[in-house]
Structure 1
Amino acid sequence: MKYDVILFDVDDTLMDFKMTEENALQNTFTAFGLPTGLADYGAQYQEISKVLWRDLEEGRITIADLGVERFRRLFAVDQPELDTKAFGHAYLENLGKEVHLIPGAVELCSRLSDCRLVVITNGFASVQTARIGASPLCHTFEELIISEQVGYKKPDREIFEYAFSKLGLTDKTKVLMVGDSLTSDIQGGNRFGIDTCWFNPLQKENHLEIQPTYEIKELGELLAIVNGEERF
C-alpha cells in the first residue's frame, strides 16, 4: 500500500454541497418569508459566497464573520431590515440537516478500511459534525479536523502541522490529501509537502500553477492510487 493515511476534504469531495446548499437556502428563505428567494437571490449569493470563501483561504476574513457577512451583502439593498445574523444562524442549522453523499463515497471509504481516514475541512464545525454524524460515514473517520475548531485553515501549513501532530505522523510520503479545491486542498497539501489528489468530476481545466500529484474524476479511482497501482 502506497499511502497509509488519507486526508479527505468534505464538501464536493465526499458530500454533495450543491444539493446541500440549495436545499438549506430554500428552507431558510421560506422560513423568513421569502419563498422565491432561491430564484431571486441564488446567483447573487453564489458570487458573494465565492469571494468570501476565497477571502477566508487568504486570511482576510474569519469563518465566523463570513457566516454573517455573506447575508449582510446579499440583503443590503433589497431587504435592509432583515436580521442577517438570525438568517445566517438559521441557514447553518438547515445546512447541518442536509446529508447528500457523492456517489461512491461509502464504498470507497469501506474499501479503504486498512487506512487511517481523516477529515480536514474549512467548513463550520456545527455543520460538518452534524452532517457527517447523520451520514453512513459517521464511524469512518479517526479525526474530524475542522478549521473553526483548531484555529487554522487550508491552504495554510499550520492545519496540516496540527493534523500530523494530532495523528502522531512523521512520514509525509505515506499521507495523501484528497479534495476538489485546487486553491485550498491541493495548494495546502503541496505547501506542506504531501502528495495530493484532485477530485475533478466535471473535468474542469486547471488554469492555475497549482499542480496535484494525481487527478481523478470518480472516487473509485482513488483505490488504485492508494494501492500504488495507478497508471497516469
Structure 2
Amino acid sequence: MKAIIDTDKIRMVWVDLDDTIIDFRGNSRRALSRVYHDYHAIGRLFDDAEAWISAYERHNHRLWTLYNRAEISCTYLREERFIRPLAEAGMTRREASALTHDLDRIYLDRLAEESTLVDGALALLERLRKFRLNVGVLSNGFADVQHRKIASAGIAHLIDITVLSDDIGINKPDTRIFSHAMKRSGISDPSAHLMIGDNPATDIEGALAAGWQAILFNPTGLLHAPSPAHTVERLDDIVL
C-alpha cells in the first residue's frame, strides 16, 4: 500500500533516524561485533560474536522501552545495557561497571563510523527535496552520536533541522518534543507537519497526539499503526 504526501498541505516532513533512515540494527550489529573482537574479556564470556550481540540486544531493547517512557535516565541506560549482559554471562557487576565506560565510548565510536542506510531512504529524502519540502530529523537518540551518524551516512545536506530528545530532556512520544520541533521549524500549524517513523508508539502515537499527520514505516508487516496514520512496508511506497 502506498502513502501519498499532500504537498498542498504538508510543509514540514520529520523522519525518525534509526531504522527509518539509517539501518541502525545492521550498523549496530557490525559495531558490536567489532567490540567483541576488540575486548578479550567479552570473548571469554561468550562463545562467539552472535551470542554477545544477542545478549546485548535483549537487554538494550528492554532498557530503551523504559527510557522512551521516561522511567530511566540516559546515563542509566548507557551503563546498564553493557553491565547486564556481562553480569548475566558471569562477570561481576563491579568488573562490568568498571569496563562499561570504555565499552560505551568504543561502541558509539564504531557505530558512528557505520554508514548503511535503510533501502529507499536516500531516494525518499531526495524526493522530499525535489518537492521543496522542509525535512527534519526527530529522534530519541543520543546527541553525541546522532550527528556523527548523519554525517557518516552522507545525508546532512538533505536535512534542515535536527531535534533530539537528548538535547531537551524530553522523549517521544511526549507531545512537548513535537511542540518544540514545531517551534524550531517556524511552522506553527500542526496539520502542516508529517512524521515518518518505525515505532507505532514513540513516532506515530506521539505525532498524532500533537495534531500531526503520520506514516508508519513497517518493513516486517507485523506492526499496526493507530488511525488515521498510513502504513508502508517500503520507503519507496511514500509518494508525492
TM-score by length of 1: 0.90
Task: Read off the aligned partner of 2:77 and give its amino acid letter.
Answer: L
Structure 2 letter corresponding to 1:59: A
Any conservation in 2 of the 1:30–1:37 contact (CA below 8 Å)?
no
Residue matched to 1:15: 22
Contact kept in structure 2, 1:186 and 1:212, CA below 8 Å: no
In the alignment, is residue 96 of structure 1 matched against residue 108 of structure 2?
no
Q: Supply the distance in 2 between the matched residues of 1:12 and 1:27 (Cα, whole angstroms).
A: 20
Q: How does 1:211-226 map to 2 (within 5 A)?
A: 211=227, 213-224=229-240
Query: By how many angstroms is 1:132 displaced?
Result: 0.5
TM-score by length of 2: 0.87
Once residues 198 and 161 of structure 2 are traced to their aligned partners in structure 1, the CA distance between those partners, rounded to angstroms, is: 20
Structure 2 unaligned segments of length 5 or more: list them: 1-6
List 4+ stretches of structure 1 deviating above 6 A.
Answer: none
- 1:1-232 alignment, distance < 5 Å: 1=7, 2-33=9-40, 34-35=42-43, 37-77=48-88, 78-80=90-92, 81-82=95-96, 83-113=99-129, 114-206=132-224, 210-211=226-227, 213-224=229-240
Secondary structure of the corresponding residue to residue 215 of structure 1: strand
What secondary structure, in the 3-state scheme, does the structure 2 residue paired with 1:30 have? helix
In 2: Cα distance, 1:116 partner to 1:10 partner: 16
> Which AA in structure 2 matches 1:149?
D
**Deviation for aligned residue 1:213:** 1.2
Higher helix share: 2
Q: How many residues align?
A: 222
Counterpart secondary structure, 2:214: strand
User: Separation in 1 of the partners of 2:78 and 2:207?
Assistant: 26
Question: What value does the CA root-mean-square deviation take over the aligned residues?
Answer: 1.6
CA displacement at 1:41 relative to structure 2: 2.3
Deviations 1:177-215 (A, max 9, x none): 000001110111122121110001111142x8x445110
- Kept in 2, the 8 Å contact 1:45–1:74? The answer is yes
What is the rounded CA distance, in whole Å, between the counterparts of 2:209 and 2:74 in structure 1? 22
Write the letter of the residue equivalent to 2:63.
L
For structure 1, which segment, 74-83 or 184-193, has the greater mean C-alpha deviation from structure 2 after superposition? 74-83
Q: CA deviation at 1:43?
A: 2.1
Tell me the residue number matched to 1:227: none
Aligned to 1:230: none
Instruction: Please tell me the residue identity of whatever aligns with 1:188.
Output: G
Question: Given residue 14 of structure 1, which amino acid in structure 2 is its aligned partner?
Answer: I
Q: C-alpha displacement at 1:104, in angstroms?
A: 1.4
Separation in 2 of the partners of 1:55 and 1:103? 29
Q: 1:37 to 1:125 in 2, by over 3 A?
A: farther
Identity of aligned residues (%): 28
CA contact (8 A) 1:8 1:117 kept: yes
With 42-51 and 5-14 compared, the bigger mean Cα shift is at 42-51
Deviation of the 1:58 alpha carbon? 0.7
Shift of 1:37: 4.9
State the alpha-carbon separation in 2 of the partners of residues 32 and 205 from structure 1.
36
* Partner AA of 2:168 in structure 1: V
Q: What is the alpha-carbon distance in structure 2 between the residues aligned to residue 158 and residue 38 of structure 1?
A: 40
Partner letter of residue 165 of structure 1? K
